[in-house]
């Protein structure tokens, strides 16, 4: 027997000239309690621009950051996925539980993107000591810059 999955967005991304904010709906704001004690948050979001049968059926893609390399969607961070769930580790700059606002350093999601979930970043769970990556990522930094990768969204 197959289970039915159901998801409800808990908020949205809001971009302005001054800040990038994860805005949480009123119902879910109590869930922000104590989040301000963490330096980073993992934001799971819906890549809605690719929520279509055509995008969901793509299983391999050319990597824009590695010319000439094609990879399966489970071996890259492509927006093409059977379920367009994306995640970003974000630096927390401010949390306002009452207003449901988390100001973050950056997120690689567009304004209005729906947020599915938040998880605090725990170094003991969310990083590994001897991780390896393929050669086409060798020139990338070892750590995310404080203000994100500086991509335009």
Assigned token pair, 52:
């279509």
Please provide the DSSP assignment of 62-118 as one string.
E-TTSTT-EEEGGGS--S--SS-EEEEEEEEEEEETTTTEEEES--SS-TTPEEEEE
pLDDT of 132 above 70:
yes
Cβ-contact 42, 139 below 8 angstroms: no
Whole-model pTM: value is 0.87
pLDDT at 149: 57
Class of domain 9-47+84-122: mainly beta
Distance CA 91, CA 88 (A): 10
E strand or H helix at 120, and its extent? Answer: strand 114-120
Cβ-contact 11, 90 below 8 angstroms: no
pLDDT in tens, 56-78: 999 999 998 889 999 999 999 88
CA end-to-end distance (rounded Å), the chain: 41
Q: Smallest Cα–Cα separation from 118: which of 149, 146, 141, 97?
A: 97
Half-sphere exposure of 152 (CA within 13 A, CB side): 0
Distance CA 26, CA 28 (A): 5
Question: For the chain, what are the domain ranges?
Answer: 9-47+84-122, 52-81
pLDDT of 87 above 60:
yes
Query: Which of the four pLDDT bands, split at 50, 70 and 90, describes residue 142?
Result: confident
């Amino acid at each position: 027997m197959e289970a039915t999955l159901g998801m409800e967005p808990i908020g949205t991304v809001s971009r302005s000239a001054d800040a990038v904010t994860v805005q949480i709906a009123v119902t879910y704001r109590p869930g922000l309690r104590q989040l301000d004690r963490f330096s980073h948050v993992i934001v799971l979001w819906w890549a809605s621009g690719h929520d279509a049968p055509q995008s969901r059926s793509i299983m391999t893609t050319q990597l824009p950051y590695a010319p000439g390399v094609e990879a399966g969607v489970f071996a890259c961070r492509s927006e093409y996925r059977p379920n367009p769930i994306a995640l970003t580790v974000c630096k927390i700059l401010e949390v306002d539980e009452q207003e449901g606002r988390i100001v973050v350093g950056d997120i690689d999601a567009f304004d209005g993107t729906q947020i599915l979930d938040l998880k605090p970043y725990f170094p003991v769970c969310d990083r590994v000591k001897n991780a390896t990556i393929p050669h086409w990522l060798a020139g990338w930094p070892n750590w995310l810059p404080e203000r994100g990768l500086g991509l335009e969204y």
